[in-house]
Amino acid sequence: MTAGLVDCDEGVVEIAGSALRDLDEQRRAELIAYIPQEPYVLHASVRDNLRYANHDATERELLEVCRAVALDRLVEQLDDGLDSVIGEKGHRLSGGERQRLAIARAALKRPALVVMDEPTAHLDTATEARVREAMGELFGTAGILMIAHRLSTVRHADRIVVLEGGRIVQSGRHEELAQQVGRYRVLLGSSDQAVLS
């Protein structure tokens, strides 16, 4: 999937110094990595699924991204390691493993912008924390736009935007929003695993 299918009503969205609306589909695909909640996995090997984003990725790079997203143990356990075929739609993988594979694949692409839709919804708390800590290493200077309902997923973001009824009702860092009277604080008070809706 490439972003830019729907233009904004007002203003201009820029990426890498160009207006998104002025970029052709190929250029948008080069600049943007999209990680959906239910990522698409090829009926191919782990290696081929990872290299789909970057055909020139080295063995070392493949193993490094697998380690960063906590897929290294899985790869070691598979009969053929990186060359193991993971089945149609990745049926040999759990939902969390498919999500981590998609994050690793996006990192190998080296995009300017990463759009993540509930990228850790299927991860346990410990694995989510490990993946979150690896984000800087994985994506370097790329911008990350993360859509999430779980507070633990967004609390370390540089900026959190709280939407309600399709409108922005709050914006800021976790520490700021936690002190303000508003929707974020209500959700924060209900639980660390609160759902933003």
Q: Residue 194: is its pLDDT beyond 50?
A: no
Q: What is the 3-state secondary structure (H, E, C) of 111-154?
A: CCEEEEECCCCCCCHHHHHHHHHHHHHHHCCCEEEEECCEHHHH
Question: How far apart (Å, rounded) are the C-alpha atoms in residues 143 and 37?
Answer: 18
Q: Cβ–Cβ contacts within 10 Å for residue 179, how many?
A: 11
Per-residue pLDDT tens digits for 7-19: 777 888 888 888 8
Structural domains of the chain ordered from first start: 14-147 (3.40.50.300)
Res 171 pLDDT > 70 = yes
pLDDT digits over 15-48, tens only? 888 888 888 999 998 999 999 988 889 999 999 9
pLDDT at 10: 82
The alpha carbon of 92 is separated from its chain's Cα centroid by a whole number of angstroms, namely 21
> To which H or E segment does residue 175 belong?
helix 174-179
Please write the tens of the pLDDT for every residue from 60-113: 999 999 999 999 999 999 999 999 999 777 788 888 899 999 999 999 999 999
The span from the CA of 169 to the CA of 164, in Å, is 6
Burial label for 189, CB within 10 Å (0-12, 13-18, 19+), is: exposed
Output the pTM of the full model: 0.84
What mean pLDDT do residues 146-170 have? 88
**DSSP classification of residue 181:** S
Q: In sequence order, what are the residues at sequence separation of 6 or more whose Cβ sits closer than 8 angstroms to the Cβ of residue 188?
A: 151, 177, 178, 194
